[in-house]
Amino acid sequence: MRGNPVVSHWVAVVFAVEVNPADVTIAEPHKFDALAWFSPDELPKPQHSQLGETVALFGADGLNSSHRQES
């Protein structure tokens, strides 16, 4: 990185999957203490500065149909 102060650029790749919450487990318990599910309007804080824009990609029924890829 160059610059004074250092100038940076972040790239975020968003993946969305449909899962049964009852089937999800922590596969690396040495890295994670807990697993929890939250509705978009009840996400815990503090939050990443770009979380709002990322959540906006999702509609009430999951990923907006304009972004959905069928398998």
Burial class (CB in 10 A: 0-12, 13-18, 19+), 51: middle
- C-alpha 36/C-alpha 26 separation (Å) is 11
Confidence bin at 69 (pLDDT 50/70/90):
low
Whether pTM > 0.75 for this model: the answer is: no
Domain edges within the chain: 1-71
**Long-range contacts formed by 29-35: CB under 8 A, 24+ apart:** none
The predicted-structure confidence for 11-68, as pLDDT tens digits, reads as follows 778 888 888 999 999 999 999 999 998 888 888 999 988 888 888 887 655 554 454 5
Cα 69 to its chain centre, rounded Å, is 17
